[in-house]
Amino acid sequence: MDDSRAKMYYLLIILLCITFVFIGCTQETAGHAGEKSAEEQPAADDRLKYRMDTDHFKYYSYDNDADVLGELGKELEAEFDGITSRLQYVPQEKIDVEIYPDVDTFHTCMGYPDSPDWLVGYAGNGKVQMVSPNNPGPVHSYESLMKAVVHEFTHIIIRGHNKGAIPIWLNEGIASYEAQNIEYIKEAISGEVKYKHVPSFTELDQKNFAERHGYQYSITIVEFLVKTYDYDRLVEMIKNPDIEKVYGVTEEELHKKWVLYLEENYQ
């Protein structure tokens, strides 16, 4: 065959290979209107498929995780009104929730196969994607993943106010505070608080956020802001992350107040 036909032939083969590689990460949304569940499919056809919906969410999973969606649905619906009320934003459409069968499959489908095992959830493009509580991996538990889905949902609400960049400590702190991801905070940071090695807000807005105990510190920042001020100003910070405009103090002054709060509550 001539060069042009050969190139088109090889391009078609490559596209078909890509399709087969990624078919396990696709979802099947076809179904009758108002359908609430999908029949079990053979193992060879196991992939992300529509399963059910609740008042505010639509759920997709692999076959073996269809049973956990009811509990996830109860958890999310129980938290929906409180979080949307406190953060003053209600989504206009149902939010997709995609559940992956294990940590490796989740990382691969997210496009980051070498991610650490603690990374079990992601929120973006108006949907939540996470590892199944049935198979949480070596770092998490069933219970912590039930909190993780609330954490990721909160990120969706935050994005409803501000689709631009906001400080990592603010974004993760609010999501963790709303999900009550409060385990091991004191154990993780008490030594640094005691010896006055508390990071600055800028240091908690870097790529090494997790390694710097960023999740633990950030939830205490939000806890401090809510208890010392109020949710209205926290929402203003989401919309426009300017400490001086929102709180009427410099970043350094607010940091000093937060450190005092840590010394009183987390030593």
Tens of pLDDT, residues 169-199 = 999 999 999 999 877 899 999 999 999 999 9
Alpha-carbon separation of residue 139 from 131, 159, 188, 215 (angstroms): 12, 27, 16, 15
251 DSSP 8-state letter: H
Which of 31, 32, 61 is closest to 46 using CA atoms?
61
Other C-beta atoms within 10 Å of 125: how many?
Answer: 9
Query: Where do runs of H (alpha helix) occur along the chain?
Result: 3-22, 69-86, 103-110, 142-161, 168-179, 185-194, 214-228, 231-239, 243-247, 251-265
pLDDT of residue 35: 37
Residue 207: both structure tokens together: 């790529």
Which ranges in the chain are annotated with CATH 3.30.2010.30?
27-161
Residues 6+ apart with CB under 8 A from 258: 220, 221, 224
198 DSSP 8-state letter: P
Q: Can you tell me the distance from the alpha carbon of 112 to that of 129, in angstroms, rounded to the nearest whole number?
A: 13
Which of 52, 58, 145, 57 is closest to 106 using CA atoms?
145
Low-confidence ranges of the chain (pLDDT < 70): 1-45
Residues 6+ apart with CB under 8 A from 218: 168, 169, 170, 172, 173, 176, 204
- Identify the sign of the CA torsion 89, 95, 98, 99: positive
Alpha-carbon separation of residue 196 from 71, 186, 200, 204 (angstroms): 42, 14, 11, 16
Residue 222: both structure tokens together: 């939000």
pLDDT of residue 7: 42
Alpha-carbon separation of residue 102 from 110, 199, 228 (angstroms): 12, 34, 40
pLDDT of residue 45: 62
User: Class for domain 27-161, per CATH?
Assistant: alpha beta
pLDDT of residue 213: 96
Answer for the pair 155, 89: CB distance below 8 angstroms, yes or no.
no
Residues 6+ apart with CB under 8 A from 89: 157, 160, 161
